[in-house]
Amino acid sequence: MSHKIALNFEDGVTRFIDADASETVADAAYRQGINIPLDCRDGACGTCKCFAEAGSYDLGDEYVDDALGEEEAEQGYVLTCQMRAQSDCVIRVPASSELCKTQQASFEAAISAVRQLSDSTIALSIKGEALSKLAFLPGQYVNLQVPGSEQTRAYSFSTLQKDGEVSFLIRNVPGGLMSSFLTGLAKAGDSMTLAGPLGSFYLREIKRPLLLLAGGTGLAPFTAMLEKIAEQGSEHPLHLIYGVTNDFDLVEMDKLEALAARIPNFSFSACVANPDSSHPLKGYVTQHIEPKHLNDGEVDLYLCGPPPMVEAVSHYIREQGIAPANFYYEKFAASA
């Protein structure tokens, strides 16, 4: 039986390999052209030590303590020359993709749909046979090349890949290179190139309640994460707070409602910062975080939004005197 292994390199590149249950992860990587740092192959040197963030595996008992101590193994460190996957896994590799003789993958696809969700937000979908081979962790992003230029823009997937199609939420920036193309020139069938996946902001194994905080188009990675959670289920409560500046910035509310219907223990709220808003909840996301959402620190917090929002949330959490079990965040800024 074959399992899919995500290798996350320290420069942000993620590559996926297939590993048979009978082969080590290092051998599987080498077979597919990725050279994880390796020396002895006998579990004696520790050169291939990585960290397993998710998945089940067998390390055997052939390695020595000097290469991997008992405490390290309990924490999730592995020797890839000994590790045999028993499920899909996510592995953090303490080396650059270049050092491991690999690079981010590039894909060609075509626009399948462009929708103006509001004055501030565009939904872009692209589809192609090549994308049926695209694998990524929910929450990650790709670099999309702006047609007619050599420049790229980074966007998080807002959906999982299905039948060779993926989607993105894109902020409509006046004068922005990608925005100008999408609002003035783009049409179905236009070719687009994307490279990735990239990023360390992605859904980890759910071991405790989650608090998800989204600002503007920072909602995108969370809808992809929630699609994955809807597929696999979760026994832990999940709450999303989605904050925007103006009423017209609120998008994809119907999608959130549909996800809430599919995920029994998922709830969400949306707030608008503009005091003149007609929306029931006003203010910033920090004003709508309740003590139960922080669960006395036994919570994994995911945050995606512009830098001021990330700083404000970080400051708020410190003020509460609560340290989340894990705090994952991604800042983004619009490109003109």
Are 153 and 146 spatial neighbours (Cβ–Cβ below 8 Å)? yes
Domain boundary among 44, 72, 93: 93
- Inside any domain, residue 203: no
Q: Do residue 300 and residue 322 come from a single domain?
A: yes
Q: Which two tokens stand for residue 205?
A: 């194994």
- Provide the token pair at 65: 């303590």
303 is a domain residue = yes
In a domain, 100, yes or no: no
User: Are 62 and 171 in a shared domain?
Assistant: no
Residues 65 and 157 in one domain: no
Identity of the amino acid at 63: Y
Last residue of a domain, one of 176, 198, 220: 198
- Residue 101, token pair as written in the block: 């003789």
Residue 77: which domain range?
Answer: 2-93
Same domain, 181 and 214: no
Do 194 and 142 lie in one domain? The reply is yes
Both 45 and 135 in one domain: the answer is no
The pLDDT value given to residue 151: 93
Judge if 194 and 134 occupy the same domain: yes
Same domain, 44 and 152: no
Reading the block at residue 164, the tokens are 């060779």
Q: What is the CATH number of the domain that holds 252?
A: 3.40.50.80
In a domain, 205, yes or no: no
Q: What is the pTM of this model?
A: 0.85
User: CA-based Rg of the chain, rounded to a whole angstrom?
Assistant: 21
- Boundary-marking domain end, from 93, 128, 155: 93
CA distance linking residue 228 with residue 203, whole number of Å = 9
Give the tokens for residue 314: 């970080």
Residue 204 included in any domain: no
**Token representation of residue 39:** 């020396």
Count of domains for the chain? 3
Note whether residue 88 is domain-resident: yes
Residues 235 and 313 in one domain: yes
234 and 260 in a single domain? The answer is yes
Which residues 6+ apart lie within 8 Å of 5 measured at CB? 16, 17, 18, 19, 25, 28, 29, 55, 85, 88, 89, 90, 91
Shared domain for 218 and 314, answered yes or no, is yes
Give residue for tokens 């979908």: 125
List per-residue pLDDT tens for the chain, 336 residues long.
Answer: 899 999 999 888 999 999 998 999 999 999 999 999 888 888 888 899 999 999 999 998 888 888 899 999 999 999 999 999 999 999 999 998 888 888 778 999 999 999 999 999 999 999 999 999 899 999 999 999 999 899 999 999 999 999 999 999 999 998 999 999 999 999 999 999 999 898 889 999 899 999 999 999 999 999 999 999 999 999 999 999 999 999 999 999 999 999 999 999 999 999 999 999 999 999 999 999 999 999 999 999 999 999 899 999 999 999 989 899 999 998 776 655
